[in-house]
C-alpha cells in the first residue's frame, strides 16, 4: 500500500478516502489491518469500499466496465503477487489455480524475461 508506489492515489480516491487509505498504511508499507501470519484482513467485513473487489468499486475508481472486471482484477493481483513473492512463487501458483488459469495461460501472462524460461512446475 506504500503511497510512494501509488502516485496516482489522488486520481481515484476522494480526499476523505485518501486520508483513510493513508491512515491504514503501516510503517512497513503493508496495511495495518492485514494479518501477515494468517494472510487475512482483520477487518474484512468492515473493510473500506475501495478494498472491495466489486464491479461498482472498479467502475468508480478505474472506470472499468463490469465485463472487464475479472481480467483487470486478476492482472492487478498477479502484478502484486509478482512484486511481493515473484512470478514463480507458490503464492502465484496458488492464485492461478484459484482463479482457474491453467499453466499455459499463466505462462503467457508472465514476463518470460523474468522467468528465464522456467515455469512454476520447475519448483
Pick out residues in 62-121 that bind ligand SF4 (CB under 6 A). none
Is 51 near ligand SF4 (CB under 6 A)? yes
Output the smallest distance, CB 119 to ligand SF4, in A.
29
The answer to the question of residue 33 lying near ligand SF4 (CB under 6 A) is yes
The rounded distance, in Å, linking the Cα atoms of 101 and 71 is 11
Sign of CA dihedral 44, 8, 20, 86: positive
- Partner residues linked to 25 by β-bridges: 31
Q: Which is nearer to ligand SF4, 6 or 47 (CB)?
A: 47
Q: Give dist(CA 105, CA 71) in Å, integer.
A: 12
The reply to whether 34 sits near ligand SF4 by the rule CB under 6 A is yes
Amino acid at each position: 500500500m506504500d503511497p510512494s508506489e501509488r502516485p496516482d492515489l489522488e486520481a481515484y480516491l476522494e480526499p476523505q478516502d485518501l486520508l483513510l487509505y493513508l491512515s491504514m498504511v503501516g510503517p512497513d508499507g503493508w496495511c495495518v489491518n492485514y494479518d501477515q501470519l494468517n494472510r487475512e484482513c482483520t477487518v474484512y467485513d468492515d473493510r473500506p469500499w475501495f478494498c472491495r473487489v466489486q464491479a461498482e468499486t472498479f467502475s468508480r475508481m478505474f472506470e472499468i466496465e463490469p465485463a472487464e472486471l475479472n481480467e483487470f482484477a486478476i492482472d492487478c493481483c498477479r502484478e502484486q503477487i509478482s512484486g511481493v513473492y515473484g512470478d514463480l512463487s507458490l503464492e502465484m501458483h496458488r492464485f492461478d489455480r484459484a482463479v482457474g488459469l491453467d499453466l499455459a495461460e499463466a505462462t503467457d501472462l508472465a514476463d518470460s524475461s523474468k522467468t528465464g524460461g522456467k515455469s512454476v512446475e520447475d519448483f
